[in-house]
Structure formats: C-alpha cells, structure tokens
Structure 1
Amino acid sequence: MPRSPSSPAFWRSPLRGPWFTSLLGVVLLVGITVMFVTGLLSYAAYNPNLAAVNDKTPDKGILGFYLFSWPTHPVWLYRLTQGVHVTLGITLIPVLLAKLWSVVPKLFALPPARSLAHAVERLSLLLLVGGALFEFVTGVLNIQLDYIFPGSFYTLHFYGAWVFIAAFVTHAVLRVPMALRNLGGMRRRGAWPEGADTERSGGQHAASPEGAAAVPGSSDTTTDGPGAPSGDRGSAADGPGPVSGSPGGSPGPASDRTGPASDRTSAAPEGPASAAGRPGPSAGTPGPHPGVSGAVPVEPGSLSDRSGPVPGDAGRAPGGGGAVSGGAAGGGGPGASAGAARGEERPRGGQDRVPGQSVPAPAAGEPARPEDELISPDPLPPTVSRRGAIAFVGGGSLLLAATTVGHSFDAPVRETALLAPHGGPEPGSGPGAFQINKTAASRGIDPKETGADAWRLVVAGNGRTVRLSRAQLQELPLHGSALPIACVEGWSTSDQAWRGVRLRDLAKLVGYDTGTAPDVVVESLQRAGAFRVAALRYNQVRDPLSLLALSVNGADLTPDHGYPARIIVPAAPGVLNTKWVSRMTFGAL
C-alpha cells in the first residue's frame, strides 16, 4: 500500500534530524533578526510619518510605533543598512530552503493538533512558512526589477514582514530552547557534527556514558581496581592486565584502544568475577581490538545483533553470566552498571530501538519527543553525511553572496555581481558612468521640457513663489558634496562629486532663514510612478550637504541622472533624491 505524506515512513532521508534542523534554525534566527531590523530601518528612512506622499502604508497604525526622524549622518547609513538587508536576504535563501526541507514532514503530520500548545505551534509554522516564502519571493523579484505582484511592493512587503515576524517570534519562543539543547547535547556527547542524531537515527547507536559497556583496555574506562592507580586509563575496569603493547598499563595508540561502537558496547567479558561483583576479563584472551587483552569477539545472537531489547536478556553475557559491565540498566543487583549503581537516570527514551525501526522507543510512560518526528523510521542508505549537507548549503550561500555583494561597490568589484541587475560593468563612460535605476525615456521625460527655453524651477512657500531658469540657478552660490546613491534594491555607488545650490539657500529665497528652513515637497517632471512627488524633513533641508544638484563629477547632469536639476541628500534612499525636479514647496508638514 502506498505511504501517504502524513506517514513518518513516507519521508526517508537519513539527513533529517534534530541536529540538522536546529543548526539551520539558529543560523536563520540570527540572520532573519538582522534582516528584520535593517528592513525596519529601511522603512523609517522614507520618513513615512512626514507626509502622505511618502507613506505607502497609511493604515499601519501601531506598526509604526518605532518610526523616528531619519538622520543625515553618517552619509553612508542607508547604503550600509539596505546593502546588508538585501545581500543577507539573498545569502540566506539556501539556508531557508534547507530548513523548510528539513521540517516538511511536520507540515503533513496528523492529527493537526494534539493540544492547544501544539495547535499554536502548527499555526505559527504555517504562517512562518507562508510568510517566509512571500517575503523572500517578493524581495527577490523587486531586486531583479521583475516585481509582478498586484499592489505596491512597499505595502505588501511591509505588512507581510510583520505577519512573518510574528510567526517567527512565536516559533522561536517554542523551539529555540529545544534547538540549543539539541546542539549542546550533541557537542557534549562528542557526536557533533558527524555523528549527530545517530543515537536516534538509522545505523549504529552511539552509547552514552551511562549506557556504554566497559571495554577492557579501552581509553574510555577508568581503573579503580587493584593493581592500577585511580584514574589510570587503559586497563580493564577492576581487571588485572594492562593494555597489550602499552608498558606499565599506559594507554597505547588510539587504534589500539578504540573500535566500532558495537564492539565496545556488546563484548561479553569472561573469566573470574571482579571485586565489584562484575565478571572480569580473562588475561590474554584474544579480542576484536588489536592490542587489547581480555575482549571477546561478538558471537551471532549476542546483544549487539539485536535491534531492540530482549526481555530478561538485556545486559547479560551470551553465556548466561553476569551483567555486562556498564551495560543496559537492569536493576541494582550484581552486575548492574556503574551509572545505575550511582542512581543516575537513564537517558530519556533509552538507547534501545524498536525492532525494525531506527527511532528508539520512548521510556515507559514517556511521550514521544517532538524532535523525533523529524527522524525517519525507515531511512534510506545515506549518500552524503550531515557535514556534507551543511557544506553544500553553506557553499550555496557563499556563492550567492559572492555574486551579489558586488552591486554595492564600484568596478571592478561590481563586475562580480553576476546575479544582480546593477552588477557588471558601469554604464557608459565619463563623469556620468555610474548606476541608475530610472532612465529619462522610461519615465516619459521629453527633451523639449528640459530645454533651456522651456524648463523653469518653481520655488514656493511662505506665501511667495519664485521661478528660476537653470542659468539663474548657476548664478546662485554653488557648493559641492561627495555623496553616494543607494537604492532599495540594495545596490549603491561610491561617493560622487555633486555640485549645486543648497536646499536651505533655496528656502531662503522664499523668506525662510537658513537655520529654520522647514520641510519641503519636491515634484518631478515624470508623469507617473512611485515617489514622483516626495517630501524631505527639515533636518534634511538644513544639512549643508543637501543640494539641488546641477552637475556631477565636473560635468552637467545627463538626462538619465536628472538633468536639468535633481535632489541629492545624505543618507536618503535613492527614490527621495528626486530627478528632473520641476517644483519645490517649503513649509511645515
């Protein structure tokens, strides 16, 4: 009968497990937190509370609680925050996909809700997966200039981010403690990362210190018996003989002291009982480990050949002798393990496997562990290790980062940004050979409108209106500013040498003192599009680096860079640096 996706046996990859999922989750916890913070900063950079023309989410309500006046310094602030936001988002795509793959069995698990807490977790998981896919897909499409969703990107991305982060926080509160325990537990057991999850996944189970059989002559056994000082490693517990080939009972080479887990945990000692009541090894008896005396080869039918516990037999030697030293907990009688004798608790769920399965049975009376839902009860043979899988995911992330981050720099680094629309060579040559997003032709700018005879800048405010030609603007005091261009898509340029009239000097033309210049609304000649009209806050107007630029890098602006005049403001998003300016209205907003 075909298995359904709701059956744990339907998902057969041996890679899924608590350690793999927990590691990816911790990486996403850090990365998505940084992305969310930089995304909030990006939204604040638009000064949405300043004017309706800047606010693409007028119904945000309490979600705008954190908004503040965006500063103008350092001048590279927006370039940094948005560059990190976009590049990190691209870099995390392989990690996100691997994480979703690792938990996909839980999306189909039945029943849908076992308790109220489980129902909350499942709902948060649904919103988390849906929100993550929506945010990453819309973000990537916007970066690639192929945004196809109905409605404004700013609106959908903003509200989608809050839905996603609410689910993310809920899921993190429920899962982060478990993830940290999983990672910490693997590290303490020495099974990290290659042997991670092997205690509950397919293949050989790693024995815990309490559940491991004492290996005569192994380096894992501490000698407390006669004939050896306390703490001397390398001799059998309570036994008389040193490790073969190691003079004086000192540890021999690692290859002489260790072997497969099945050999260490299931070999049955023979010979006279030790002083502690456990059977001791027979000196000189050949064993499976070279150089180790007293170890006995495992015979078919012995404990290590069984996939699960056998009643009345766990911890017994094949010949019916005493319990194996350090074996499965079997009571407090002679032969009980050292861990049991000390009253130590057996590891939750034990190390025993359900016959025919790879997931261990929980201890009596204990519920199934949530992390075990990720482990296949019938895994396929592994074709790659978990370390290899992590390397594959990490390599994919590094590749995406290396082919994206260059769009925040100039040539030659920009040419490495093969996956970014603003990567590759700089457009054209000369003073205007730096990146642009909107061309004059794409925005319907008619050269006749920008000619010397037709174009006039209208400056209004305080009950006054002034009209200025480009020639008249050039007669005003001109100043220079070295500022970058940074866009919401994550790309940016280095500092360009702009020259023009300070915004606060233009405010002075309509009666405002330069130190008290108010907010300003800037209008463009472009016919349509987001931020055709944009507002700047008073701190941006008063900054001496804020200009109505007429030239860049020693030459007049080109049409694509905003000729005849454009705004350039430090630390502002590119869309607020309005091109093809036609009107400026000063006044408190």
Structure 2
Amino acid sequence: MKLPAKLLAREPEFKAPAHHTGVTSRVGTWLGITFGLCFVTGLISHGVQHDWPWPTRPVDLYRVTQGVHVISGVASIPLLLAKLWSVYPKLFERPLIRNVPHALERASIFVLIAASFFELVTGLFNAAQNYPWSFYFPTAHYAVAWIVAGSLLVHIAVKIPLIRRTLEPASEEKTILSRRAFLRTTALTTGVAVVATAGVTVPWLRNVSALAWRSPGALPVNRTAKAANIVVPRDWRLNAGAKSFSLADLRAMPQTTVELPIACVEGWSQNATWTGVRIADLVEKGDVRVESLEKDGLYRATTLPEAFAQDPLTLLALQLDGEELTLDHGYPCRLIAPNRPGVLQTKWVTSLEVQA
C-alpha cells in the first residue's frame, strides 16, 4: 500500500508520544513566548540601570516588568526540559553531520541550548543572591541574552515550515491522548513552578508560594550595613550642593509621606511607607548624583535623572513605616523614588550634587 505523497513529504516523526513533532512544536511555541517575555523585560531592566529614558509613572511599572522577567524565566525551565526531552533522539541521530547546512543547524542548536541553560541557571542563582563564579553577572547575563535571542531566531527560521505543518488543526486531530497528556503535564508543571515562586513579586500569591526566595513580612534587606562596612560619623551631615544639613535639620524640614515599593532586580518587591524630605526641596533642578557612605560598592553612587529628582514622590527618606530608619535600611537617610530598581535606591546617603 502506497502512502499519500503529502505524508511522504513530511519529516519523519518519532514513535514515542513525547517525541512527536507536534508535541515539540507546541512546547517550543510556549518556550518561545516565555523566552521572548524574559528577553524584552531583561532589556528593560538593563536599560533602566544604565540610564536609558524611563518614566516616573506608573510607580509600579518596574515592579511589573522585573516580576515578569523573573517569572517568565522560572516558567522557561520546565518548558526547556520538556522541549529537550521531546527532541533528544534527534540530537543523536546518525550520521551526526550530513552536510554543511545540517552542520550549521546543529551548531546553532548547540549554542541555543548552552546559552539558554547559562541564562536560566545564572538567573536562578542571582535571584537567590548566590554567585559561585568570578564574572560580573549583569554584563555576562546581558551579553548571553543576545546570543540566546539570535540563535533562537535562527532556529525558528529553519524550523518554521515544520512548525506550521505540525500546528495545523488536522494534525491536532491525529494527536493521540498520550501526547496530549504530555503537553498537559508540561503545562501543569510550568504552572506549579510559577505559582510556587511568584509570591516574591505577586502579593496575593505570597501565602502559597512555597519556594519563594523571599518570605512575606518585614521589608527585606539585600545588602546589610555590615556587608557594606558602613560607619556613620557622629558629626554626619548631608552635603547638598553649597548647603549642608544635619539629621536634626532634615527632621525639622517639612516632611512628606508616600507609599512606594522597593522592587529589586532579583524579582522580589514589597510596598512600604516612607517619610522624609523631598529631593526637590534640597537641590536645584537637574540630574542629581547621589553618593553613599559606602566606599566601594558597585552602586555606592547613582545618578538620579531630573524627572525623578523633581518628582514630588521622590524623597530623602528618614523613616520607614513610621519608625526611624535602621542602619540596614539606610540610616541616617536613604533615597526612595517611584519606578526605580532597588539597587538605585541609594542607602546611607551623604551627598546630593546637581550635575552640570
């Protein structure tokens, strides 16, 4: 009995249900979506930390984009494993190399797999603030993200005819129950991974996120005063251009109270109530360089763009949730501004200088 020409033209399919090309295409589509979200929000995070134009409103925007970045990264892990499981027999087909185009395709797949694992594994370690390597994480993570994006686009371009064919409705009708079960299991595993960790950035999930790396409660501290070697001088004063203020001077000025989140690059975020003096009341208009008592931290000094410095919600905070700042939270004063990454919310502020 002869097979129809249309079927003969199709790429051979694996016998095992989980290795069916339809399964691979569907999981790959889901993975492409999570990778795409992770890549775009990662670019946003990198840009905000490197002085790209960024609005002050809405105040929760960075919280949302960084939360999506970390959650989509977590979702990508089970999807990537499922994708590799569905295609691994092909990775060891003989001959390993058939021709030059085939060699280039396999090389791009190897690069994609290696770069993807690098991004997801180092991203998880960063979320847990564990750095068992010597390279600078933000630079390496950003560079490899472009490698992932480029190799993923090459892979999609090569496989687009097969993806279209296997995602046709007719193909879905022929998909056996065990293949559907594999897809459902993959989707369920991904959902569980997201729910189990998303509480660090989604407040209403905090009570069910058993694997969240930050517990609900008091505002977390990423870098303690001890780790930063902070010693507050007895005669501490804030230098603001040509002016100088003691802590008593700052407390005597008009105070403003705002509710703003701390949204950290590791993905966690939490609202808090801050009280202090508006930056706009301390310095003239312009970009403001904010310096800390910290001597050698990567973020001991930051630049606050004029739009943020003049925003009425941007404070030199003296209190957190109605209490004087603790040393770990930035005593004697710290910067708090809307829609800024936590690493740029400078603690232990000692100087405000308007840039020329």
TM-score normalised by structure 2 residue count:
0.90
Q: Which amino acid aligns with 1:393?
A: T
SS in structure 2 opposite 1:403?
Answer: helix
- Give the deviation of 1:530 after TM superposition: 2.4
**Which among 426, 434, 437 is matched to residue 219 of structure 2?**
434
CA distance in 2, matches of 1:532, 1:106: 50
CA distance in 2, matches of 1:110, 1:467: 75
- Give the deviation of 1:527 after TM superposition: 3.5
The 5 A counterparts of 1:506-525 are 506-507=282-283, 512=284, 517-525=285-293
Cα deviation per residue 1:274-318 (whole Å; 9 max; x = unaligned)?
xxxxxxxxxxxxxxxxxxxxxxxxxxxxxxxxxxxxxxxxxxxxx
CA distance in 2, matches of 1:571, 1:500: 18
- 1:165 and 2:149 correspond: yes
CA distance in 2, matches of 1:406, 1:193: 36
Match of 2:339 in 1: 571
Q: Which amino acid aligns with 1:418?
A: A
Cα deviation per residue 1:220-239 (whole Å; 9 max; x = unaligned)?
xxxxxxxxxxxxxxxxxxxx
Q: Which amino acid aligns with 1:74?
A: P
- Give the deviation of 1:144 after TM superposition: 1.3
Cα deviation per residue 1:415-473 (whole Å; 9 max; x = unaligned)?
433222213x41xxxxxx32222222222223xx15xx33211223xxxx322111111
Q: Quick check: which has more Rg, 1 or 2?
A: 1
- Give the deviation of 1:409 after TM superposition: 4.2
SS in structure 1 opposite 2:254?
Answer: coil
CA distance in 1, matches of 2:253, 2:206: 37
- 1:580 and 2:356 correspond: no
CA distance in 2, matches of 1:110, 1:407: 46
**Which among 284, 295, 298 is matched to residue 530 of structure 1?**
298
CA distance in 1, matches of 2:248, 2:96: 72
Q: Which ranges of structure 1 fall in alignment gaps of 5 or more residues?
A: 1-10, 51-67, 195-384, 427-432
Contact 2:195–2:205 (CA<8 Å) still a contact in 1?
A: no
Greater helix proportion: 2
528 and 73 in structure 1: CA distance in 2 versus 1, 3 angstrom threshold: same
Cα deviation per residue 1:375-415 (whole Å; 9 max; x = unaligned)?
xxxxxxxxxx22232232222212211111111144x7424
**Which among 446, 459, 473 is matched to residue 250 of structure 2?**
473
- 1:33 and 2:36 correspond: yes
Contact 2:111–2:151 (CA<8 Å) still a contact in 1?
A: yes
CA distance in 1, matches of 2:91, 2:301: 46
The 5 A counterparts of 1:174-185 are 174-184=158-168
416 and 547 in structure 1: CA distance in 2 versus 1, 3 angstrom threshold: same
SS in structure 2 opposite 1:92?
Answer: helix
Match of 1:444 in 2: 229
Contact 2:22–2:171 (CA<8 Å) still a contact in 1?
A: no
**Which among 168, 174, 184 is matched to residue 391 of structure 1?**
184
Contact 1:186–1:192 (CA<8 Å) still a contact in 2?
A: no
SS in structure 2 opposite 1:484?
Answer: strand
- 1:491 and 2:259 correspond: no
- 1:502 and 2:294 correspond: no
Contact 2:20–2:179 (CA<8 Å) still a contact in 1?
A: no
CA distance in 2, matches of 1:548, 1:109: 63
CA distance in 2, matches of 1:437, 1:403: 21
- 1:455 and 2:231 correspond: no
- 1:106 and 2:94 correspond: no
CA distance in 1, matches of 2:297, 2:170: 54
**Which among 168, 175, 184 is matched to residue 192 of structure 1?**
175
Q: Which ranges of structure 2 fall in alignment gaps of 5 or more residues?
A: 1-13
Q: Which amino acid aligns with 1:442?
A: A
Q: Which amino acid aligns with 2:219?
A: F
SS in structure 1 opposite 2:131?
Answer: coil
- 1:42 and 2:45 correspond: yes
CA distance in 2, matches of 1:443, 1:548: 20
567 and 551 in structure 1: CA distance in 2 versus 1, 3 angstrom threshold: same
Contact 1:458–1:582 (CA<8 Å) still a contact in 2?
A: yes
Cα deviation per residue 1:192-245 (whole Å; 9 max; x = unaligned)?
352xxxxxxxxxxxxxxxxxxxxxxxxxxxxxxxxxxxxxxxxxxxxxxxxxxx
Q: Which amino acid aligns with 2:281?
A: D
Q: Which amino acid aligns with 2:227?
A: S
Q: Which amino acid aligns with 2:318?
A: L
- Give the deviation of 1:112 after TM superposition: 4.4
Contact 1:483–1:498 (CA<8 Å) still a contact in 2?
A: yes
Contact 2:197–2:213 (CA<8 Å) still a contact in 1?
A: no
Contact 1:144–1:420 (CA<8 Å) still a contact in 2?
A: no
Cα deviation per residue 1:553-589 (whole Å; 9 max; x = unaligned)?
222112221111000011000000011111222114x
- Give the deviation of 1:185 after TM superposition: 5.4
Q: Which amino acid aligns with 2:240?
A: V
Match of 2:136 in 1: 152
CA distance in 2, matches of 1:82, 1:456: 35
Q: Which amino acid aligns with 1:476?
A: M
Range 469-478 or range 136-145, more displaced: 469-478
Percentage of identical aligned residues: 40
Match of 2:8 in 1: none
The 5 A counterparts of 1:350-365 are none
CA distance in 1, matches of 2:179, 2:96: 29
Aligned residues: 343
**Greater relative contact order (CA < 8 Å, ≥ 6 in sequence):** 2
Q: Which amino acid aligns with 1:81?
A: T
**Which among 418, 436, 440 is matched to residue 210 of structure 2?**
418
The 5 A counterparts of 1:212-227 are none
Q: Which amino acid aligns with 2:183?
A: I
Match of 1:126 in 2: 110
CA RMSD of aligned residues (A): 2.0
Contact 2:18–2:85 (CA<8 Å) still a contact in 1?
A: no
400 and 521 in structure 1: CA distance in 2 versus 1, 3 angstrom threshold: same
TM-score normalised by structure 1 residue count:
0.56
Greater strand proportion: 2
Cα deviation per residue 1:85-144 (whole Å; 9 max; x = unaligned)?
101211221111111222223333344443443233222211110110000011001011
- 1:406 and 2:199 correspond: yes
37 and 417 in structure 1: CA distance in 2 versus 1, 3 angstrom threshold: same
**Which among 458, 465, 482 is matched to residue 259 of structure 2?**
482
CA distance in 2, matches of 1:489, 1:562: 19
SS in structure 2 opposite 1:391?
Answer: helix
- 1:90 and 2:74 correspond: yes
